[in-house]
Amino acid sequence: MVRTMLSAAFVAASLAAPAAAQDLGDIVGGVAREYLSIEQDRAAFEQAQSQGTLRSYQTYLQQFPSGRYSQQARDQIARLGGTTATRDDPYQGDTSGLSRQQRVSIQQQLNALGYSTNGADGNFGPGTRRAIALWQRDRGYSQTGSLTTAQANEILRGTGGTSGGTRVSETTPGSASGVGAAGAEGDLGLSRSQRSAIQASLTRQGYDTRGIDGVFGRGTRGAIAAWQQANGLQATGYLTASQADSLLR
């Protein structure tokens, strides 16, 4: 039907007087845009159907929240046990079971590990998604920017600083778990340049941080833990204020 309307509009424009042709040209343009939008909507939904995953239907809704197939997409998301994505948080289905405080805790832990989320307010926006993707990269996971339940639990348990190699202890002096050490390091407010300087210091001393980029990933955590152990300190993989000062000298 849209093709018929488009053809009719073109014929009318070709037969119209010059004065009216411009108006008809606008009509033709409007019909063409509408047709293109319909085709894009249809193609996006067909792609979601072909993949048949929770993410694919959420992605369709992100692009076409009021599309012709939006209700069908919502029905499929519900069938797959997910929640409807929103423009503010198109990935919310992946961690829909997390409380706001758990999301805040995840953001705080990521920041303590050196992955800046640009805030810790419980909202998984672009900054948090980027931090998650970097965390996943450093642990050999697919860089989706979206946490699985296991990954969320890994971060919440405070074990996100380990992935093979030197294991970071989950206990620290004066605290019950590695989360306390991570939080203490986060409170130091180390800048990216200071983190890079610490990595450079560790590297000079023979502790490979797997790069000097100001990001404390698993390589840096392992290097810190090894340095701590060699100096008779508890190998937490997280720095105290005095340890950071020592490495920055």
SS (HEC) of the chain = CHHHHHHHHHHHHHHCCHHHHHHHHHHHHHHHHHHHHHHHHHHHHHHHHHHCCHHHHHHHHHHCCCCCCHHHHHHHHHHCCCCCCCCCCCCHHHHCCCCHHHHHHHHHHHHHCCCCCCCCCCCCCHHHHHHHHHHHHHCCCCCCCCCCHHHHHHHHCCCCCCCCCCCCCCCECCECCHHHHHHHHHHCCCCHHHHHHHHHHHHHCCCCCCCCCCCCCHHHHHHHHHHHHHCCCCCCCCCCHHHHHHHHC
Predicted pLDDT of residue 89: 44
Give the pair of three-digit tokens for residue 178: 């590695």
How many CB atoms are closer than 10 A to CB 27? 14
Cα-based angle 58, 87, 42 (whole degrees, multiple of 5): 50
Predicted pLDDT of residue 211: 87
Predicted pLDDT of residue 9: 53
| Below-70 pLDDT ranges, the chain | 1-31, 78, 80-97, 158-183
Predicted pLDDT of residue 197: 93
Predicted pLDDT of residue 198: 95
Predicted pLDDT of residue 180: 63
